[in-house]
Amino acid sequence: MFGYLLKRLIQMTLVLWIVSVIVFLMMSFTGDPVFMVVPIDATDAEIAQARRILGLDQSLLVQYGRFISSLVQGDFGNSYVFRQPAMTLILERLPATVEMVLVAMALALAVAIPLGVYAGANPNSRISRTIMAGSLLGISLPGFWVGMVLIFLFAVHWGIFPSSGRGDTAELFGLRISLLTADGWHHIILPAVTLSLATMAILLRMTRAGMMEVGRQDFMKFARAKGAPRRDVLYKHGLKNALIPVITIFGLQLGDLIAFATITETIFSWPGMGKLLIDSIYRADRPVIVVYLMLVALIFVVINFLVDIVYTLIDPRITLK
Amino acid sequence: MRDTVQQKLLEVRDLRTHFHTFAGTVKAVNGVSFDIAAGEVMGLVGESGGGKSVVGFSILGLIDSPGKIEGGEILLNGEDLVKAGEARLREIRGRDISMVFQDPMTSLNPLHTVGRQMDEVLRLHSDLDTEARHAACVEMLESVGISRAAERLKAYPHQFSGGMRQRVVIAIALLARPRLIIADEPTTALDVTIQSQILKLMRRQIAEKGASMILVTHDLAVVSEMADHITVLYCGNVVERGRTRELIEAPAHPYTRGLIDSIPDLSNRHERLKQIPGTVPDIRNLPRGCNFRDRCPRAQAICAEIEPDLMPQRGSLSAACHFPLSPGDTA
Amino acid sequence: MTALFQSEFFYNYRRSSSAMIGSALMAFFALAVLLGPFIVAQDPYDIAALNLMDSYKPPVWLEGGDPQFWLGTDGQGRDVWASILYGARISLFIGLVAMVASCFIGTLLGLIAGFYGGLVDSVIMRIADIQLSFPSILIALFLMSAVGTGIDKVLIALTAVGWVVYARTVRGSTLSEIEKEYVQAAKVAGLPNHKIIRKHVLPNVLTPLIVIATIQVGTFVLIEASLSFLGVGVPITQPSLGLLIKNGFDVLFSGLWWTSVFPGVAIMMLVFGINLFGDFLRDELNPRLK
């Protein structure tokens, strides 16, 4: 067990390191950040001095060294735009993104699993075929467009939901969470629904595929031969087995949600870190971009790790190696 | 010992189970009849794909679409199972009639402990409370030869070897004290050395509990040891049946003769292996007349015209053949 | 060709409504894209042809609509329908070219990894694994933010994201093929590697590749649309469907919905058609399900 954890830890660190190198290289070769910090009418001497302060006059390797050492200390420098530590800016907005992602995932699961089970157990029924056509449509839709349509219908046209922004927040453990207020929910519904659609469709399809695969297995028939009713066989015997492939992609789907949150947050002006990223890209606010990427890389690496652990908990045949 | 008409436990009359696929209708079971009395073991023999497993599943009502029981009766102590509803069938499955599947690797749910899967049978069919059920499971596991039973109940199927798993499956099949066990190729997936152990186990359990068994297999050697009487299937029809000794020693149907002859004779090492020539016909397009005629050394013109009916021959044997063998014939 | 029409594939195709609808949609778009410039009167990107008086006309079935612009016009008097046709061209072009590039590079890397094994294999697969643990949209977004906008940059970003699935599939097929005895025999007999690839590996890997490639076009169209919507995709002078939606977003709140909704419908129909057909292909070409 300990050996496994150690191995994973080393792997995770390796991946993060590689990501840091890539991020650093990309950032270095794109544009000259010195012009973000000096005023328009700076003299050459002032520019040169700024370069020295930012360490841009050093060799790439030295720059990278400084980059890494400050990185592990959590110091990513100040945002060029806000003049505040980039890390703080991102972390402030993290709860908002996490909220939306969690609600979207919960929504996706709540719809996808039951429908997927039904469609898998009764593959030829009319309803199932409609569900499957719907799910195919779900993965064909451009998410941002759906968001817009929802805004237009529910916010502009019918005025039921707000078109942008996050609702009122209440504080819990020092974090500002909007899910604790009714107004918060009022604001989160449209963005969360928008975000959840693609994941919902994919999870539905995987659940259905899993159920159909499981239905072919001998042990299902054997359970029926014992006299178990159909429904028991489906849910008690089949479902857990069918969900194994779903768990495999669950981690990836969570990652996708975080990624697509950038777009959703932009449309709905949701003050999360995704919106901050997009804005920072426009404004070439390098430190913020770097923080976002490293943080997100960390989150993904941790999610993958946790999914593997969960996997072994569910399937007794799999052991940690 | 009364030898008046023995109460038949199971009577199957003219069972027809067909599968409607896009490529044609497969008449897997096409008019099969047999009887089983209490305490008897019947061997159901035939080549792979000949419909033997379908008979077993039909009895339990486990035929899923595109298959359907098209006709016939399955009388369990007089009650017709074909007409019984799903609820009634659920009562019977596992309790009055239980089944042992072929492949122990896939019969058990990999995510449930063995104990839970055994417990399920008792929960479904008995009123025992948790402790009583647990005790019954422990006892049954021990009686099928698994030591440290109480511990093993908490284990998962993949932690057992193939032979042990099959013992578990047999234990599950016996738990609710069924009157009839359908064993579908129970030893085919096991090592040869384990096979005889499992067979002995099954024979002992059946004798102890006074149950009957349908032993579905393609292996005549197995069936000659275990069965009281044998039914031979070919392409969905019964071609011969009778008591084991008579059938094995002097079969009346050429197909049975062929099956017996194709068992390698280890004492005579220079002889070529005998095979039944030809292959099983496409079951969607069965030839007119006798299904076996293309492969039968005794076939004559009439065999291509008229399908033979199952007729009593000699002793306990009945065969469906226009030119049945006499004792001493070598086909 | 006649063999195709008589094959079981075609028989199942005609019986599958989803396949027919899917390919009908794809054909519609293919035609629209090819013939677009000839059937539409106005080239929406020819400034001289635009008339500001035509701006923000609603679709023809609403009040104020103009039959000349059946889906309405945008803020500069551009015909939405014409814009969609021109935009679809760009979107499809990008999707197809990126797919071909990804396929080529991915297959090549997969073959190399499978054939030569060892360190080369490890390195390629490691990169692939790391890349797969991150959502492609994020990688593409990041790349675009680094290299700037432009159709060529989008193609590079999409290819950088898309090669992985081909590499893995082809590597898997290669590995399983070279294990087979007849291939080992051929090697012993002196058959050169490229012949082994051509005769043994490629035919087996062809069917999954076709399915992957088909669906990937749809995926790329969606990714490109998202990138353009965020402003890091195609430049304004050659807008794709994504950019059209972005432009329409700004006026959505004033109730002028048609400039953004219709391009979205177009994307949806295109990708849906591709997915329908791709689904059908996958079920048909999968030997395991037969």
Q: Least CA distance to C18: which residue of chain A? A: A133
Q: Using CB atoms and an 8 Å cut-off, which of residues 142-161 of chain C contact chain A?
A: 142-143, 145-148
Asked if residue B1 has pLDDT above 50, the reply is no
Residue in chain A lying closest to B61 (CA): A225
B5 pLDDT band, cuts 50/70/90, is low
Please indicate whether, in this complex, the C-beta atoms of A219 and B120 are within 8 angstroms of each other: no
Chain C residue with CA closest to A24: the answer is C146
Measured CA to CA, the distance from residue C158 to residue C146 in angstroms comes to 14
Cβ–Cβ of B92/A227 closer than 8 Å? yes
Residue A144: list chain C partners with CB under 8 A.
225-226, 229, 245
Cβ contact, residue pair C143, A26, below 8 Å: yes
Distance from CA of A141 to the nearest CA of C (A): 5
> Are C146 and A145 inside 8 Å of each other by CB?
no
CB contact under 8 A, C245 and A18: no
Q: What is the mean pLDDT of residues A172-182?
A: 79
Of B110, B122, B117, nearest to B156 (Cα)? B110
The structure's pTM equals 0.81
Chain A CB contacts of B111 below 8 Å: 240-241, 314-316
Contact C267 A281 (CB under 8 A): no
Strand A175-177 relative to strand B229-234, pairing: unpaired
CB < 8 Å to A149, chain C:
261, 264
**Pairs across A and C, CB distance < 8 A:** 112
**Inter-chain residue contact A218 with B94, CB threshold 8 Å:** no
Nearest-angstrom CA–CA distance, B54 and B70 = 13
Of A140, A146, A278, which is closest to C271 when you measure between CB atoms?
A140
Amino acid at A320: L
- Please, which pLDDT band fits residue B3 given cuts at 50, 70 and 90? very low
Residue of B112, B124, B158 lying closest to A226 (CB–CB): B124
**pLDDT higher than 70, residue A35:** no
Name the residue in chain A with its Cα closest to that of C263.
A145
Which pLDDT value is given to residue B269? Answer: 67
| Residues from chain A contacting residue C218 (CB–CB below 8 Å) | 140
Interchain contact, A140 vs C135, CB within 8 Å = no
Closest CA to B114 of B141, B135, B139, B93: B141
Name the minimum distance, in Å, from the CA of A171 to any CA of chain C: 31
Q: Do A143 and C226 lie within an 8 Å CB cutoff?
A: yes
Q: Is residue C226 within 8 Å of residue A143, measured between CB atoms?
A: yes
| Pairwise CA distance, residues B180 & B206, whole Å | 9
> Least CB-CB distance to C229: which of A141, A144, A281?
A144
pLDDT of residue B49: 65
Q: Check residue C9 and give its pLDDT.
A: 66
Task: Reply yes or no: is the peptide bond before residue B66 cis, omega within 30 of 0.
Answer: yes
Distance (Å) from the alpha carbon of A43 to chain C's nearest alpha carbon: 27
Q: How confident is the model at residue C67 (pLDDT cuts 50, 70, 90)?
A: confident
State the average pLDDT over residues B248-276: 78
pLDDT of residue B2: 44
Banded model confidence at residue B4, pLDDT cuts 50, 70, 90: very low
- Closest residue in B to A124 (Cα) is B65
Query: Is a pLDDT exceeding 90 seen at residue A111?
Result: yes
Local confidence band at A50 (pLDDT 50, 70, 90 cut-offs) = confident
* H or E stretch covering A303: helix A286-314
Contact A226 B120 (CB under 8 A): yes
Nearest CA in chain B to A317: B158
Rg, C-alpha atoms of chain B = 21
Residue C105: what residue type? I
pLDDT, position A106: 95
Q: How many CB pairs under 8 A join A and B?
A: 66
Main-chain phi, psi angles of C163, to 5 degrees: -70, -25
Q: Name the range with the highest mean pLDDT among C78-82, C108-112, C253-257.
A: C108-112
Chain A residues near residue C132 by CB distance under 8 angstroms = 252
Q: Do A144 and C146 touch (CB under 8 A)?
A: no
Please indicate whether, in this complex, the C-beta atoms of A227 and B125 are within 8 angstroms of each other: yes
What ranges in chain C are assigned the alpha helix state H?
2-6, 8-15, 17-39, 80-116, 118-132, 136-147, 151-179, 181-188, 193-196, 202-229, 241-252, 258-285
Q: State the average pLDDT over residues C169-198.
A: 78
Cross-chain residue pair A152–C143, CB shorter than 8 Å: no
Residues of chain A contacting residue B120, judged by C-beta atoms under 8 Å apart: 223, 226, 228
HEC letters along chain B: CCCCCCCEEEEEEEEEEEEEECCEEEEEEEEEEEEEECCCEEEEECCCCCCHHHHHHHHHCCCCCCEEEEEEEEEECCEECCCCCHHHHHHHECCCEEEECCCHHHHCCCCCCHHHHHHHHHHHHCCCCHHHHHHHHHHHHHHCCCCCHHHHCCCCHHHCCHHHHHHHHHHHHHHCCCCEEEEECCCCCCCHHHHHHHHHHHHHHHHHHCCEEEEEECCHHHHHHHCCEEEEEECCEEEEEEEHHHHHHCCCCHHHHHHHHCCCCCCCCCCCCCCCCCCCCCCCCCCCCCCCHHHCCCCCHHHHCCCCCCEECCCCCEECCCCCCCCCCCC
Query: Under an 8 A CB cutoff, do C268 and A133 touch?
Result: no
Condensed to tens digits (0 to 9), the pLDDT of residues B9-33 reads 889 999 999 888 777 788 888 889 9
Percentage, residues of chain C above pLDDT 70: 86
Distances (CA, A) of A139 to A221, B111, C218, C222: 34, 31, 10, 10
Question: What are the tens digits of pLDDT across the range C119-140?
Answer: 888 888 888 888 887 888 888 8
Alpha-carbon distance A276 to nearest alpha carbon in chain B (angstroms)? 44
Give the ipTM.
0.84
Cα–Cα distance, A72 to A42 (Å, whole number): 33
* Burial of C190 from C-beta contacts in 10 A (0-12 / 13-18 / 19+): exposed
The verdict on a CB contact (< 8 Å) between A240 and B111 is yes
- Cα C2 from chain centroid? 29
Question: pLDDT tens-digit profile of C204-259?
Answer: 788 888 888 988 999 999 999 999 888 888 887 777 888 888 888 888 877 778 88
Residue type, B17: T
DSSP state at residue C59:
P
- Average pLDDT over every residue of B285-295: 79
Q: Could you tell me which residues come within 8 angstroms of residue C29 by beta carbon, excluding any fewer than 6 positions away?
A: C88, C92, C269, C270, C273
Torsion of Cα atoms, C171 then C175 then C176 then C178, to 10°: 130
Quick check: B15 contacting A, CB < 8 Å?
Answer: no
Q: What is the pLDDT of residue C159?
A: 92
Q: State whether residue A237 sits within 8 Å of chain B by CB.
A: yes
- Alpha-carbon distance of B327 to B324, in angstroms, equals 10
Q: Is the CB of C145 less than 8 angstroms away from the CB of A163?
A: no
Residue pair B193/B163 in contact (Cβ under 8 Å)? The answer is no
